[in-house]
Amino acid sequence: MLAFIVRRLLQAVLVMLAVALIAFAMFRFVGDPVNSMLPEIATTEDRQALRAQLGLDEPIPTQFAKFIGGAVQGEFGISYRNKRPVSDLIVERLPATLELVFAAALFALLMGVPMGVYTALNRHGFVSNLLQIISLIGISVPTFVTGILLILIFSVWLNWLPSFGRGEVVQLGWWSTGLLTISGLKSLVLPSVMLGLFQVTLIMRLVRAEMLEVLRTDFIRFARARGLTDRAVHFGHALRNTLMPVITIAGLQLGSMIAFAIITETVFQWPGMGLLFIQAVSFADIPVMSAYLVLVALIFVVINMIVDLLYFVVDPRLSVGGDRA
Amino acid sequence: MKQSGPLLEVRDLSVVFDTRRGPLTAVDRISFDLSPGEILGVVGESGAGKSLTGTAITGLLERPGRIGGGEIRFEGNRIDNLPPEQMRRLRGRRIGAIFQDPLTSLNPLFTVGRQLVETIQTHLDLGREQARQRALELLAEVGIPAPEKRIDHYPHQFSGGMRQRVVIALALCANPKLVIADEPTTALDVSIQAQILAVLKKLCREHGAAVILVTHDMGVIAETADRVAVMYSGRIAEIGPAAQVVKAPRHPYTEGLMGSIPVIGTGADRLTQIEGSMPRLTDIPAGCAFHPRCPCARADCAAVRPEPRPVGDGKVACVLYDGGGI
């Protein structure tokens, strides 16, 4: 198992290096940032000075090495737009996005798994068919449409929940949280529902399909033949065996939710990394963009590693060697 | 609970599959009895309805299959129409089951100990420690070495034969009076088969359980069973004491079945075989289902379905034995 972790870590480092190369290459391809940072009347000396200050006058391999070195320490240079260190901007925005994504993921799992189990066990029931149809709609409708509908219903018509922003936040060290205030929690509801709704339907359908598959296996038939209660058969034996694929997909989806958060954050003006990224794109703010790219890649890699390690927890066949008698 | 009568009485049991083109009868009005502690072998080709008979008795038929008629009595009480919850209490507690493939019968994610304890606690009023103690005893009984160590192992850490021993322990853990073993050795190495059968036989004797041993292996039957039922196309062709059915088969089908077993040292180059194959459920011939393949077929075979008649110590469903003054 240790060998497995080391191997995965090495793979992760390789992936991150490749992503860093792409992020670094963005600096080359999007034109000379110096042009947009200095006024039109700037002299060649001014340009040279700024170039030296930004480290753009050095050979490319040196620049890449410096970029990596900085990135490892969380330094991505100075934002072209805000003239502030990118790392500060990210640290400011990261908690908002993570809180949103984890709330959405929690919502998706708490809704999706029970609904999947229910529809699998009552395959021909009326409620199951209804859920199946609704989930089809949930999968087909683009998230920004559901977001706008949510705002229309719950903010404009019913006036229950705020339509934008994060509400009041409380600082816990560098982490700003909206989870401790009423207005923060209320603001979190609509965005996380919007972000999680698609995942609910996905997880529900996945759990349902896996569950139906497992319910057909011999060990479930044997569990029934042993006279175990339906409850033990369904939740003890069947559900646990469906968890492997669900963990995989849920993990991957967690990564893509961080990426999809861009749309949600735009719709709800949620002050997270997605919004920061959108603003950076419209301003060609390369340091921010490349930092965002590296960070999202890092989150993906970390989540995938956690998923792989969870397999070991769930499936003893991986961790316990087969010393057969 | 009657003590004297048979443990299990099956009367005119039919198993039917509802299809779009109407019901298909897979098991057709079979009847047999089973005494306490008796081992009944059920043989026949694939699709003869052997396994379905066992599944019907455990109440585990899955849609579109269902019991189409007849009744099953266990210890004198009807069990074919019990509500699901009562049937569940019977399963594992009074009627145990062993499946064909030990590799897939156990949940891969739980230790064998957990699966044993769970089953024991479902049926018996025991605490966790007592249940575990009983699980250890059972593992030792089925011949698993070092049970204290093995109880916390996962199924994949056991070989096929060892896993089937665990399955036997699971089937017997609440001392059922009847065990339905559906091809318990088919998926195992030949060298292991005899061991598993010996374990099964010994344990069922010790626990006082009767066994319905479903198999297509005549050798297994000859070695293990007290009585044998030969099934063909969902019907019982012949049923009787194992020695009689194996050594002196009466039904032409049984004869053919026995003739197809190789005997070393007789010098026969070719095995006799039964021409043709078993009819599909959709076109079972009228009269005796075996008559198109039967070497002794007569004109009336296609007309009348023969009912089982007592012949010797058993019963045979064949017109050859129909005439004798009845």
pLDDT in tens, A21-31: 888 887 777 66
3-state secondary structure of B250: coil
Helix B160-172, helix B128-141: angle, nearest 10:
130
Q: How far apart are CA B274 and CA B290, in angstroms?
A: 10
Chain B contact present for A238, CB below 8 A? no
Q: How far apart are CA B37 and CA A236, in angstroms?
A: 34
CB-CB contact of B316 with B250 (8 Å): yes
Provide the number of CB pairs (under 8 Å) joining chain A to chain B: 97
Confidence at B32, pLDDT banded by 50, 70, 90: very high
- The whole-number pLDDT of residue B229 equals 93
Least CB–CB distance from A322: residue in B110, B122, B157: B157
Q: What is the pLDDT of residues B154-179, one digit of tens each?
A: 999 999 889 999 999 999 888 899 99
pLDDT above 70 covers a percentage of chain A that reads 96
3-state secondary structure of A196: helix
Q: How far is B141 from chain A (nearest CA, A)?
A: 16
CB < 8 Å to A225, chain B: 58, 60, 91-92, 96-97, 99, 171
Q: How far apart are CA A195 and CA A104, in angstroms?
A: 6
- The whole-number pLDDT of residue B12 equals 92
Q: What is the pLDDT of residues B247-306, one digit of tens each?
A: 888 888 888 888 777 777 666 667 777 778 888 888 888 888 888 888 888 888 888 888
- The whole-number pLDDT of residue A325 equals 38
Domains of chain B: 8-262+280-321 (3.40.50.300)
What's the CATH class of domain A87-283? mainly alpha
Scanning every residue of chain A, which has its alpha carbon at the shortest distance from the alpha carbon of B55?
A: A225
Helix A286-314, helix A273-282: angle, nearest 10:
150
* Yes or no, beta carbons of B88 and A229 under 8 Å apart: yes
- The whole-number pLDDT of residue B208 equals 86
CB < 8 Å to A217, chain B: 104
- The whole-number pLDDT of residue B139 equals 93
Sheet holding B65-74: strands in order across?
B22-34, B8-19, B65-74, B77-78
Alpha helix positions (H), B83-189: 84-90, 102-105, 112-123, 128-141, 147-150, 160-172
Count of residues for chain B? Answer: 326
Least CB–CB distance from A227: residue in B93, B106, B158: B93
Is A61's pLDDT higher than 50? yes
pLDDT above 90 covers a percentage of chain B that reads 41
Scanning every residue of chain B, which has its alpha carbon at the shortest distance from the alpha carbon of A219?
A: B105
Mean pLDDT (whole number) for A190-198? 87
* Yes or no, beta carbons of A241 and B118 under 8 Å apart: no
Q: What is the pLDDT of residues A75-108, one digit of tens each?
A: 777 787 777 888 888 888 888 888 899 999 999 9
CB-CB contact of A56 with A37 (8 Å): no
Q: What is the pLDDT of residues B127-143, one digit of tens each?
A: 999 999 999 999 998 98
- The whole-number pLDDT of residue A110 equals 92
- The whole-number pLDDT of residue A255 equals 85
Where do the domains of chain A lie?
Answer: 2-72, 87-283
Count of residues for chain A? Answer: 325
Terminal-to-terminal C-alpha distance of chain A: 22
Q: How far apart are CA A22 and CA A181, in angstroms?
A: 40
- The whole-number pLDDT of residue B3 equals 52
Least CB–CB distance from B60: residue in A224, A240, A316: A224
Chain B contact present for A314, CB below 8 A? yes
Q: Which of A121, A212, A219, A323 to mutate to test the interface with B (most CBs of B within 10 A)?
A: A219
- The whole-number pLDDT of residue B326 equals 38
What is the pLDDT of chain B when averaged over all its residues? 87
Least CB–CB distance from B107: residue in A225, A230, A237: A237
Q: How far apart are CA A149 and CA A168, in angstroms?
A: 24
Backbone angles phi, psi at B107, to 5 degrees: -70, 120
Least CB–CB distance from B154: residue in A240, A314, A320: A320
CA angle A289, A292, A297 (to 5 degrees): 130
